[in-house]
């Protein structure tokens, strides 16, 4: 066992950890990033639907449990985290998303910060990720101090016609903000292999290309991949984290540091804190409030295939359009429904799981004629929706579903909207516990140590030098993708660390 000492150890190389690392790049701090996965190989299979969706070439082979049911979670452990496979959607939360908001089946709690606290950091995050969009068209758009640096990705013909038909219904579709290096001198070739695929030409604005690689150009930032952190260790008082036990390429090491940033993702960060229980913290680190692992959320989501039997969809990159007209409610109820955005183009191999009983020729016919959408509603926090650790050390994920009435109403309304665009058949498939791509809420921040694990700058109340900076800090999930909000808060926390600790 070897001892190595750093000023800062960052656990995880996704949006949270990568943003912290980039903020500390060039400072006096000696920073080590620990990533449990390897660098993702650049290979032909990156863009092969058979390899990605049928063979699960890149998906973790670990087993989680949903109470008594084992399952393989949709997790990807590589440098850059799950963003290597994300769909590039980069939304800001709405102003009201930071406030207490009444829903049909409960209340979404207020955050300890407001939109204004993150607005400038949203600007910086959009710039870093190369987000393309157009402000002012989304009817729920929060105020901005600066426009997008890049124009939105233009619609292909089929999507442009759908946008026209949505406007004819009185709706206000808008360009979906996407982190893609598209346009003059851009790397993007507008292929069909973006959403849920790794980009083998580095055109996707993921945490690896936009955060980790730039940070590593500075000599004070180091990365060790294939490094699985097993435990966080504290001093005798329990107030200070002093080391991590980590297995790197099969060899166990103990690494010490002055400051630790945990950014392993909402589920794994909570699990690591629980596994790190000691006599001073028998319920796990950062957990005197007993909220660690609780309030798990991951959005209520459904995929919709709008199908016309006589129209082929030749669109290659469809993720250019979204609808927020009913985000905060409709004429029937003044409670939120959700967002509607385009998915990447579905192809036959992607349907083999959900439509296994359907003949292959029919799956191919559906995929070639469909326009594919993603309906998303807020998942409300519940204390019994939680991450726990089984006796064998495996993760147990109990998802207490909430706000489903609103989601079902939203899916029904989405079907009406899509039929009115000229697609008579709309198929819907909801996502279950296995889909954890929008995981959040398990290490919530707040202003009261009795009801939260972290303070408003994501420092653990219980420890002087531990920060948790991934979507685990979310008190609520809103109804838009979480990546940009994680990045904005991480940039804010990273600047705080640089200014207050490592000037």
pLDDT of res. 501? 64
User: How far is the C-alpha of 79 from the C-alpha of 403, rounded, in Å?
Assistant: 34
Handedness of CA 5, 8, 10, 14 (dihedral sign): negative
Q: Which token pair is 237?
A: 């008082």
Residues of the chain with pLDDT below 70 are: 1-3, 501-503
**What is the tens place of the pLDDT at every residue in 276-334?**
999 999 999 999 999 999 999 999 999 999 999 999 999 999 999 999 999 999 988 88
What is the value of pTM for the model shown? 0.97
- Residue 82 belongs to a domain with what CATH number? 3.50.50.60
Range of the domain at 449: 3-500
pLDDT of res. 1? 35
Q: Where are the beta strands (DSSP E) in 3-138?
A: 3-11, 31-34, 64-66, 69-71, 101-103, 106-108, 131-132
How many structural domains compose the chain?
1
Instruction: List Cα–Cα distances, 78 to 135, 255, 338, 459, in angstroms.
Output: 33, 21, 31, 26
- β-strand partners of 54: none
**What is the tens place of the pLDDT at every residue in 138-148?**
999 999 999 99
Residues 490 and 496 sit within 8 Å (Cβ to Cβ):
no
Which of 240, 272, 273, 269 shows the shortest CA–CA distance to 257? Answer: 240
Q: Which token pair is 397?
A: 């994920």
pLDDT of res. 502? 58
Helix-strand-coil percent breakdown of the chain, rounded to 5? 25, 20, 50
DSSP letter for 22, please.
H
């Amino acid at each position: 066992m070897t001892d190595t000492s750093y000023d800062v150890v960052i656990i995880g190389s996704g949006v949270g950890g990568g943003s912290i690392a980039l903020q500390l790049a060039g400072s006096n701090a000696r920073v080590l990033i620990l990533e449990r996965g390897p660098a993702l190989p650049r290979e032909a299979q990156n863009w092969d639907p058979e390899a990605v969706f049928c063979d699960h070439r890149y998906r973790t082979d670990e087993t989680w449990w949903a109470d008594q049911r084992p399952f393989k979670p949709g997790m990807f452990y590589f440098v850059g985290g799950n963003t290597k496979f994300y769909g590039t959607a980069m939304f800001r939360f709405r102003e009201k998303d930071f406030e207490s908001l009444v829903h049909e089946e409960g209340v979404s709690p207020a955050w300890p910060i407001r939109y204004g606290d993150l607005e400038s950091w949203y600007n910086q995050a959009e710039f870093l990720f190369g987000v393309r969009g157009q402000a002012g068209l989304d009817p729920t758009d929060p105020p901005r101090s600066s426009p997008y640096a890049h124009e939105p990705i233009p619609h292909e013909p089929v999507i442009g016609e759908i946008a026209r038909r949505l406007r004819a219904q009185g709706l206000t579709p808008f360009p979906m903000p996407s982190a893609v290096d598209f346009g003059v001198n851009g790397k993007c070739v507008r292929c069909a292999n973006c959403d849920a695929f790794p980009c083998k030409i580095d055109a996707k604005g993921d945490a690896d290309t936009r955060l980790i690689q730039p940070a590593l150009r500075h000599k004070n930032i180091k990365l060790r991949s294939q490094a699985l952190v097993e435990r966080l260790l504290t001093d005798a008082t329990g107030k200070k984290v002093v080391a991590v036990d980590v297995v790197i390429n099969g060899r166990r090491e103990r690494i010490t540091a002055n400051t630790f940033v945990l950014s392993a993702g909402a589920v794994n960060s909570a699990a690591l804190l629980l596994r790190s229980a000691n006599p001073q913290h028998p319920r796990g680190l950062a957990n005197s409030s007993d909220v660690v692992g609780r309030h798990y959320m991951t959005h209520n989501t459904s995929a919709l295939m709008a199908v016309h039997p006589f129209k082929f969809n030749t669109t290659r990159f469809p993720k250019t359009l979204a609808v927020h007209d009913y985000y905060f409610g409709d004429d029937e109820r003044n409670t939120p429904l959700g967002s509607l955005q385009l998915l990447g183009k579905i192809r036959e191999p992607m349907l083999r799981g959900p439509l296994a009983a359907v003949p292959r020729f029919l799956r191919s016919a559906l995929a070639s004629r469909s326009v594919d959408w993603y309906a998303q509603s807020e998942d409300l926090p519940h204390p019994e929706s939680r991450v726990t650790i089984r006796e064998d050390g495996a993760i147990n994920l109990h998802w207490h579903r909430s706000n489903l009435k609103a989601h079902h109403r939203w899916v029904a309304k989405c079907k009406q909207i899509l039929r009115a665009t000229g697609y008579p058949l709309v198929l819907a498939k909801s996502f279950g516990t296995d889909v954890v791509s929008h995981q959040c809420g398990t290490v919530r921040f707040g202003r009261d140590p009795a009801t939260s694990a972290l303070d408003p700058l994501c420092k653990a109340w219980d420890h002087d030098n531990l920060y948790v900076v991934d979507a685990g800090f979310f008190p609520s999930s809103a109804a838009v993708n979480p990546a940009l909000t994680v990045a904005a808060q991480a940039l804010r926390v990273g600047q705080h660390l640089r200014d207050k600790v490592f000037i």
